[in-house]
Amino acid sequence: MSYGEIPTLKPALTSVMWKTVSEACNLACDYCYYSQCNGMPKKIEHIDDTVLEKFITEYMNISKGYVSFVWQGGEPLLAGIDFFRKVVHLQAKHAPNNTIISNSIQTNGTLINEEWASFFKEYNFLVGVSLDGPEDMNDARRVMGSGKGSYKRIMRGIEYLKDANADFNILTVLHENNITRAADLMKFYQEQNFPFVQFIPCMDFRAQEINKPGVFLITPKQYGDFLCDIFDEWYNDGMPQTSIRFFDDMLAVYLNQHAGLCSHLETCPKHLVLEQNGDAYPCDFFIHEEYRLGNVGVDTLEDLLTNELMENFHDLKPNLPDPCKSCEFLHLCHGGCPRNRIKSNNEFGVEYFCESHKQVYRYAHERMQIVASNVKKKRIQDLINAGYKMPGRNDHCICGSMKKFKKCCEPLLSFN
């Protein structure tokens, strides 16, 4: 058993996201699509011990060598560190030999102290910290229950993570206060040495209301402009230094690999989202009775995964609207997220951010080719340095393109 290594296996269940304390949260971000306690949670109820152990046991039994847990909230740290000590204990107790265990946690960062940071480091948790940029941008929307800005407490939590050398990334919600400030955001993240950043457009609908259209606080044009602006900052003469999830995904496709984000994949991953009480759904955006698969405290994991509602859900993404079928960017976008295809008249159309994606795909294409070429050159050089023999000219290329080596990466050998 080992914690947090990179998965290479294809398990029956890609990952499970568990809402550790339901909607309890100590922040009152005005755009939150889930929590309704206004930053003043009353009673904290975390996952029941028996349900936790039952699920972990069953998950380990179907694991095929790899399991992935994502702990979310509300604010999951409100469950207390002893809850997470129990989690890692149960994972270790029930993991078959040689199982890779991945844990990530999405937190607002305000409760992280030295003890949490060293726990995350010890068990290789990947910590996603929500931060909307420098103080003015963050505190415009992300406030404590008292109404005070959360920036200083978040940054204090990040300092603990840095001191403990724990892995973390930054999740930034895009809204009216930061959408036009791509350069300022990037400057701030680089000054702070944040190596991994993800941007998500701010939702203006509740995830539980699956019959309402997915609408957002920013327009497709604003998001498209933002992506182009942040691409300029990311590009760095063809040698990007900061990892930005959207461009990492795009680059992966240019390198003949798969994107990481579910919305950029051909199908939605086989994923479970669990409410604190064990109710199971196929996705965080489909938390509705229509898609309730059962409850992990009562039903077997196998029953949940073979429930026909799961199949119905997985039919959604590949059922592309006509414009996607002939779209030149389908290999990059795969029609986006089906939740964002729901329109106000309850019909399906192209995803809300279709035009934003097209805008940045066009804008970035030539420079993305340069970045991909630079990455390939570096990989080839590393292989040569490691004594790896290059393929014959008519053999398959080493980059996975399935093209002949001479038609793909061989010309890059003359790069010096």
Nearer residue to ligand SF4 within complex by CB, 337 or 364: 337
The pair of structure tokens assigned to 400 is 């996975």
For 268, the enclosing helix (H) or strand (E) is: none
The pair of structure tokens assigned to 8 is 């290479």
The conformational region for residue 186 under phi > 0 = left, psi -120 to 50 = alpha, else beta, is alpha
Q: Judged by CB under 6 A, which of 210, 268, 272, 296 binds ligand SF4?
A: 268
284 belongs to the catalytic site: yes
Nearer residue to ligand SF4 within complex by CB, 142 or 334: 334
Nearest-approach distance from CB 363 to ligand SF4, in angstroms: 13
Site membership for ligand SF4, residue 310 (CB under 6 A): no
Look up residue 114 and give its amino acid: E
Q: How is the chain split among helix, strand and coil, in percent rounded to 5? A: 40, 15, 45
Q: Which of 136, 184, 204, 284 is catalytic?
A: 284
Q: Judged by CB under 6 A, which of 63, 263, 276, 307 binds ligand SF4?
A: 263
CB 100 within 8 A of CB 60: no
CB 295 within 8 A of CB 278: yes
Mark residues 340-359: x for contact with ligand SF4 by CB under 6 A, - for none: ----------xx--x--xx-
Nearest-approach distance from CB 240 to ligand SF4, in angstroms: 23
Site membership for ligand SF4, residue 19 (CB under 6 A): no
Task: Supply φ then ψ for residue 342, to 5 degrees.
Answer: -75, 130
Residue 103: how many CB atoms within 10 A of its CB?
21
Closest CA to 414 of 394, 395, 390, 396: 390
Look up residue 278 and give its amino acid: G
Q: Which stretch binds ligand SF4 (CB under 6 A): 63-71, 160-168, 181-189, 334-342?
A: 334-342
Nearest-approach distance from CB 350 to ligand SF4, in angstroms: 5
Nearest-approach distance from CB 193 to ligand SF4, in angstroms: 30
Q: Are strands 168-174 and 196-201 parallel, antiparallel or unpaired?
A: parallel
Nearer residue to ligand SF4 within complex by CB, 46 or 357: 357
Q: Judged by CB under 6 A, which of 262, 309, 370, 398 binds ligand SF4?
A: 262
CB 108 within 8 A of CB 11: no
Site membership for ligand SF4, residue 94 (CB under 6 A): no
The helix/strand/coil state of 174 is strand
Contact positions vs ligand SF4 (CB under 6 A)? 262-263, 268, 283, 285, 317, 323-324, 327, 329-330, 333, 335-339, 350-351, 354, 357-358
Catalytic residues, by residue number, are: 284
